[in-house]
Amino acid sequence: MKKYYSASKNGFYSTDINGDDLPTDAYEISDEDYNDLFYGQSNGGIISADTDGKPSLIQPEPETTQQFNANQRLLRAAAFSAEHDPIAMQYLRGEDEITKSDLITLAADIRARFPYQV
């Protein structure tokens, strides 16, 4: 089975799956290169075409503090919605034996799991 990479589609093709229906810019790659690219991608790399249209692995730019904090805010909000809010509603309705201390502890735990950078 031969493997190909298309820069215009930023995708991989195989003769076993695609037959001869390949993009015009399909570039044949070895099994070793194919495996190396996907191993690199699984470790944070990005598969992209070089200037010749061949697949290459690039490393993404490091996340800025602002981007990190924005992601943490989203994760923290999701955790509060999924974990804290249902229990807070039970507390407000007087259900179960949930105390205000339980809510404070849970909120502190969520904040600790998703800290912000300064």
pLDDT along the chain (118 residues), means of 10: 92 91 92 95 93 92 92 96 93 87 94 91
Q: Are residues 37 and 53 in the same domain?
A: yes
Q: Which residue has the tokens 């992601």?
A: 71
Indicate whether 118 belongs to any domain.
Answer: no
Indicate whether 81 belongs to any domain.
Answer: yes
**Strand order of the sheet with strand 27-29?**
11-14, 3-6, 27-29
Q: Are residues 47 and 14 in the same domain?
A: yes
Q: Where are the beta strands (DSSP E) in 59-104?
A: none
Q: Are residues 83 and 48 in the same domain?
A: no
Amino acid 31: pLDDT: 94
Q: Are residues 79 and 48 in the same domain?
A: no
CA dist., res. 84 & res. 107, Å (int): 7
Q: Domain range holding 30? A: 3-58
Indicate whether 43 belongs to any domain.
Answer: yes
Query: Distance between alpha carbon 63 and the CA centroid of its chain, in Å?
Result: 13
Phi-psi region of 19 (alpha: psi -120 to 50; beta: other; left: phi over 0): left
Q: What separation, in Å, do the N-terminal and C-terminal C-alpha atoms of the chain show?
A: 51
Domain end among 13, 40, 58? 58
Tell me the two tokens of residue 106.
């849970």
Q: Are residues 72 and 96 in the same domain?
A: yes
Indicate whether 93 belongs to any domain.
Answer: yes
Amino acid 6: pLDDT: 94
Q: Are residues 9 and 43 in the same domain?
A: yes
Amino acid 40: pLDDT: 95
CA dist., res. 18 & res. 16, Å (int): 6
* Total domains present in the chain: 2
Indicate whether 22 belongs to any domain.
Answer: yes
Q: Are residues 28 and 44 in the same domain?
A: yes
